[in-house]
Structure 1
């Protein structure tokens, strides 16, 4: 029974899968193309991981696993509604209306 190390890890919020894939593709390219050759130790894909993490946090909020008060600064995008639209994310939840992060 071999395992495929490049197989995607299941994501808590399937709505965030595209962001996860973008981060994984970018990191894999950097790792194989620069890191292993000793050309770079700084991952240029960190911003993609932050977007993915924020998407997961938005899912935690929208699916009522966490309240907005439980997040620290930077855990959520400044404008949740804009983040959802810009990343074309369709959350599988009942229509809850907009969110204002204050």
Structure 2
């Protein structure tokens, strides 16, 4: 699997894990997501038709180091924000441990950008 395909797959899995946490309303779309929504439908053909999920940034400083995951979420107002953020971190760590066995644990950061 190419690095780009791996990154796309991991980003989609991370987004799914974060969105499944009770209390998460949605992942906050970044500037890229907002611009993508303004483009015509055929404009995403360069990505093979798969859009990168909004609200997730995935990076790795070097080939052997741990992944760095940044997640931006909007949380429902009836739950404790800190509890939801902690659960998102746990869910993403568990998902990545299953997808990348034997690798260093990722550094997961969750930022709550709003309440609804």
- TM above 0.5, one fold? no
Q: Which has the higher strand share?
A: 2
TM-score (norm 1): 0.29
Query: Per chain length, whose mean CA-contact separation is higher, i.e. which structure has more relative contact order (CA < 8 Å, sep 6+)?
Result: 2
Which has more helix, going by share of residues? 1
